[in-house]
Amino acid sequence: MAGSIMERLYVPVRSSQGFISLSDSRGYVLHALWNVRDSYHTPHLGPGTCASEESSGTNAIGICIKERRSVQTLGAEHYCRSLHNWFCAASPIWLDGNLVGILNISLPVEYYHPHTGGMIDSASHAISENLRLRSLIREQKATLEMLDEGVIVFDATGRIKTLNAKAWDMLGGRNAEIPENLNIRDIILSRDVVETLLSRNCGFRMQEAFVKYPGGSLNTLLSLSLVDKYGTRVLSIRAIRKANETAARLTGAKAVYTFEDICGRSSALRNVISFARLAAQSDVTTLILGESGTGKELFAQAIHNASARANRPFIVVNCGALPRELVQSELFGYDEGAFTGASKLGKPGKFELADTGTLFLDEIGEMPLSAQVSLLRLLQNGEVSRVGGKHTRHVDVRVIAATNRDLEEAIRENTFRADLFYRLNVFTLNIPPLRERHGDVGELIRHLLQKLSASHGLDLPDFSEEALGYLHRYRWPGNVRELENTLERLVHMAKGSPRIDVGLLPACILQAASPGQEDRRAYKGLLSLQEKETLVKTLCEFNGNLRAAAQELGLSRSGLYAKLKRLGISQDEYRKNKRNRLP
């Protein structure tokens, strides 16, 4: 690049027996032009010669390096006597504020002209600008190649100026070399898409389009930007599947639990885990049955993480929480104008976001019949039709469904389709309730207490043997979820106390798990003691403020007054931050 500028600069000085040299920032001559037929010789003419002040004394190149500015030296101003018949002009070459080279012109003194310095300054500036532009182009090219989407820059006629490897690969180029004089019509065969790109006089963002290319087609999101008044355009191409994967990742669509996180050693649980591991070895549609709180989503995540789809999206849909009028659009997505208020760009549904991964349909028994028809079609054909859409989209999704309902009873009540049930009921897992997992309660208590300690930073109290006995005898109708919530409540109630005794246990556990031979009056005494301790703790916490205490306990003020009176508690004793010992 510098050589071509030097050659143009040398043309007018060729007949003057002068020469032009290019040095690096240390003064070493890298390149020189002179008339080889001339017989003269100078010490700093040949490439490899050092023209710094330390090596050659005072000269234009050396001073330019020291002072970092344009310099002219004439005749005896040179240190070397052999240069006293020469005029030299040197000018610095810059890149990003750094001195990278020196451009020098040397002429016999009789050809000296003050304009020569201006000429060499212009040439060095041109070289600096060329270096800057080349550096900028390299940076832009590196940036384009780093993007996770295809980028094509083309003019108003469709002639491609540049495109990154991602675009070339997406549109069928693969490993082939990019040909010269490529037109956008050569790689995008969809006539309507090309005409839109060339005729638009304004840009657009994230428009969905089916793009045909040599050898195939691609469902894409296109964005177009107009760069200048001459019609230069920048097109970005993003595959819908890739965009959906990114959206799923950003929304936290990931399974975190594995089979190692399932706590319990009972034979009932171990048998289900063995079957679940079998389900993970294939993409078979799996139906998980079990009471609320047994850990159906935990099993679904473990199956996903043990499968070949472990690094792909895991999308959870609670069918019971979706408004009935929005189920179709949430699951299958919608296209532009599908309904009032619909986004102009449309929206992918949960099945599209779960493409190549797993979709977990929790509470499948609550899904409306209208959505069940679409789900059945997807399970049979692997195709999704958006609400208001004209095209079907193929998705590769492994479906895991779960419910605590009796689906066969729902079929008899005409609230669930029999054909969908048979399609879901390919591989069924029945999660045992906690009351049937003999011996697991103790291990679960230890595991959940450690989890509470890690998440809340609490020092965990011990349980008395009597309190543990009640916890073991209780049948836990809410299963593991109820156990976890109960332990969290007990730990917070016992804050500051080293021991959890029977008096802190909820009344439902005491009542349901009381031994049959226990004296009824003693049992009532335990309940009264528990209630009194709870009231006293709350009054201490709120300094005797009855309104705040009643709100915390979920009671009315009159109801709290009645309990205090029945238990013989005076609110005055707990005002003004007065310390009290619990009864």
| Three-state SS at 262 | coil
pLDDT score for 211? 83
Average pLDDT over residues 259-283: 93
The token pair at 15 is: 């007949």
Q: Over the stretch 144-174, which tens digit does the pLDDT of each residue have?
A: 888 778 899 999 999 998 888 888 888 887 7
User: Do 317 and 413 share a structural domain?
Assistant: yes
- Greater confidence (389 vs 484) lies with 484
Number of Cβ within 10 Å of residue 77's Cβ equals 17
Contact status, residue 365 vs residue 412, Cβ threshold 8 Å = no
Least confident segment among 177-186, 357-366, 565-574 = 565-574
| Three-state SS at 237 | strand
pLDDT score for 259? 94
> 393 lies in a domain?
yes
The DSSP letter of residue 5 is H
pLDDT at residue 217 is higher than 50:
yes
pLDDT at residue 428 is higher than 90:
yes
Q: Over the stretch 471-482, which tens digit does the pLDDT of each residue have?
A: 988 999 999 999
Least confident segment among 60-69, 287-296, 338-347 = 338-347
> 439 lies in a domain?
no
**What is the spatial distance between Cα 471 and Cα 464, in angstroms, rounded to a whole number?**
11
| Beta strands per DSSP E along 414-557 | 427-430, 462-463, 499-500
- Greater confidence (424 vs 532) lies with 424
Give how far the C-alpha of residue 157 lies from the chain's centroid of Cα atoms, to the nearest Å.
Answer: 37
Q: Over the stretch 120-131, which tens digit does the pLDDT of each residue have?
A: 999 999 999 999
pLDDT at residue 79 is higher than 80:
yes
Contact status, residue 102 vs residue 27, Cβ threshold 8 Å = yes
Q: How confident is the model at residue 583 (pLDDT cuts 50, 70, 90)?
A: very low
> 132 lies in a domain?
yes
> 442 lies in a domain?
no
**What is the spatial distance between Cα 110 and Cα 114, in angstroms, rounded to a whole number?**
12
Average pLDDT over residues 234-261: 73
The token pair at 444 is: 């679960």
Query: Strand 86-95 vs strand 233-239: parallel, antiparallel, or unpaired?
Result: unpaired
pLDDT score for 300? 95
Q: Average pLDDT, whole number, for the chain?
A: 83
The helices-and-strands tally (H runs, E runs) of the chain is: 22, 19
- Greater confidence (527 vs 433) lies with 433
DSSP codes, 549-563? HHHHHT--HHHHHHH
DSSP codes, 7-58? HHHHGGGGGGT-EEEEEETTSBEEEEE--TT-----TT-STT-B-SHHHH-S
Tell me the C-alpha to C-alpha distance, in Å, between residue 580 and each of 114, 416, 495, 544, 572: 100, 59, 16, 11, 12
User: Do 400 and 513 share a structural domain?
Assistant: no
Q: Provide the phi-psi class of 321: left if phi over 0, else alpha when psi is between -120 and 50, else beta.
A: alpha
pLDDT score for 519? 44
Q: Over the stretch 496-544, which tens digit does the pLDDT of each residue have?
A: 677 888 888 888 888 876 655 444 444 455 455 567 677 777 878 788 7
User: Do 94 and 12 share a structural domain?
Assistant: yes
One-letter amino acid of 546: L
Can you list the alpha helix ranges (DSSP code H) found in 251-344?
267-280, 296-305, 327-332
Q: How confident is the model at residue 113 (pLDDT cuts 50, 70, 90)?
A: confident
Give how far the C-alpha of residue 403 lies from the chain's centroid of Cα atoms, to the nearest Å.
Answer: 30
Query: Which of 114, 92, 112, 118 minimizes the C-alpha distance to 103?
Result: 92
One-letter amino acid of 238: R
> 471 lies in a domain?
yes
**What is the spatial distance between Cα 33 and Cα 27, in angstroms, rounded to a whole number?**
16
Number of domains in the chain: 4
**What is the spatial distance between Cα 488 and Cα 570, in angstroms, rounded to a whole number?**
29
User: Do 88 and 177 share a structural domain?
Assistant: no
> 581 lies in a domain?
no
End-to-end C-alpha distance for the chain, whole angstroms: 93
Average pLDDT over residues 426-452: 90
Instruction: Indicate which CATH number applies to the domain containing 110.
Output: 3.30.450.40
User: Do 231 and 126 share a structural domain?
Assistant: no
Instruction: Indicate which CATH number applies to the domain containing 185.
Output: 3.30.450.20
**What is the spatial distance between Cα 56 and Cα 223, in angstroms, rounded to a whole number?**
59
User: Do 157 and 102 share a structural domain?
Assistant: no
One-letter amino acid of 508: C
Rounded to 10°, the helix 479-493/440-456 angle is 50
**What is the spatial distance between Cα 102 and Cα 95, in angstroms, rounded to a whole number?**
12
**What is the spatial distance between Cα 191 and Cα 226, in angstroms, rounded to a whole number?**
20
Number of Cβ within 10 Å of residue 320's Cβ equals 14
User: Do 227 and 176 share a structural domain?
Assistant: yes
State the residue range of the domain holding 293. Answer: 259-432
Domain boundary among 211, 241, 271: 241
Q: How confident is the model at residue 64 (pLDDT cuts 50, 70, 90)?
A: very high
Sign of CA dihedral 162, 166, 170, 172: positive
Torsion angles phi and psi, residue 220, rounded to 5: -130, 165
Q: Over the stretch 293-338, which tens digit does the pLDDT of each residue have?
A: 999 999 999 999 999 999 888 989 888 887 777 778 888 888 766 6
With tokens 């009597």, the residue in question is 466
The percentage of residues in the chain with a pLDDT greater than 90, rounded to a whole number, is 30
pLDDT score for 103? 94
pLDDT at residue 342 is higher than 70:
no
User: Do 410 and 270 share a structural domain?
Assistant: yes
Contact status, residue 18 vs residue 31, Cβ threshold 8 Å = no
Query: Strand 499-500 vs strand 216-226: parallel, antiparallel, or unpaired?
Result: unpaired
Instruction: Indicate which CATH number applies to the domain containing 510.
Output: 1.10.8.60
> 363 lies in a domain?
yes
One-letter amino acid of 443: E
pLDDT score for 305? 94
User: Do 27 and 129 share a structural domain?
Assistant: yes
Domain boundary among 188, 211, 241: 241
User: Do 138 and 156 share a structural domain?
Assistant: no
User: Do 312 and 377 share a structural domain?
Assistant: yes
Torsion angles phi and psi, residue 460, rounded to 5: -85, 130
Contact status, residue 297 vs residue 360, Cβ threshold 8 Å = yes
Instruction: Indicate which CATH number applies to the domain containing 282.
Output: 3.40.50.300
Average pLDDT over residues 177-189: 85
pLDDT score for 283? 92
Domain boundary among 143, 169, 194: 143
> 173 lies in a domain?
yes
User: Do 512 and 465 share a structural domain?
Assistant: yes
Contact status, residue 359 vs residue 398, Cβ threshold 8 Å = yes
**What is the spatial distance between Cα 31 and Cα 524, in angstroms, rounded to a whole number?**
104
pLDDT score for 523? 45
